[in-house]
Amino acid sequence: MTNVTENPLLLLTIAALAIVALWLLKVFAPEKHRPYYWAIPLAITLSALALDFFIKTDLEKINLTIKNIVKAGESENPDAIAALLSNDYNDSLHLRKNIIVSHCKQLLTPHLIDKAVLRIISIQTQPETAQAVFTVNIFFEQDSTAAQYKKFMFIKMKTNLKKNNSKNWLIKSFELVEINKQKTNWKKTIYNF
């Protein structure tokens, strides 16, 4: 069954059908038509837009979490990254949240990243967990040490998320999948940092 909070197009389709029905009523039974009937499709349309604007779905919250962590990395802010990680964070290299946060503090030196471009490939959700695969094109600052080696880097990552008590989504783990189209993982790359 379609969820109207996930897809307001259902309500907009119903509003369009109501307009057609009102038009048919006006053409074939003008004596029964009343001008205030046009408020019905208007109310349905406004309800659809209000639902879309005010109710944030899990998919929208997951997208926002991923966008925010990429922005935090782009602005070289390890504390903002830490705020988006769950307390039980662990991945194949970083066994605890504080380890990856200290790793971020070590790597994210000022004037390293000029721009980070996010592209979310897939998101699979369960009621309390989700998994997302995304890519980030990282463009380095011209005067950074990384830019002397390469102007940009392409990263593909897989992340697991979980819903916390306040119904927001936090990152439970990150796994590195590719760097510059080469398959890799955290353990292969740690010696290059």
70-124 tens-digit pLDDT: 999 999 999 999 999 999 999 988 889 999 999 888 888 778 889 999 999 999 9
Question: pLDDT digit string (tens) for 66-82?
Answer: 999 999 999 999 999 99
Q: What pLDDT, on a 0 to 100 scale, did the predictor assign at position 8? A: 79
Enter the tokens of residue 144: 């950074």
Q: What pLDDT, on a 0 to 100 scale, did the predictor assign at position 64? A: 94
Tell me which architecture the domain covering 58-192 has in CATH: Roll (3.10)
Q: What pLDDT, on a 0 to 100 scale, did the predictor assign at position 10? A: 85
Asked whether the beta carbons of 174 and 159 are under 8 A apart, the reply is: yes
Mean pLDDT of 170-189: 89
What dihedral angle (degrees, nearest 10) is formed by the CA atoms of 174, 180, 185, 188?
-140
**Integer Cα distance of 91 and 89 in angstroms:** 7
Q: The tokens 């907009």 sit on which residue?
A: 12
Q: What pLDDT, on a 0 to 100 scale, did the predictor assign at position 193? A: 47
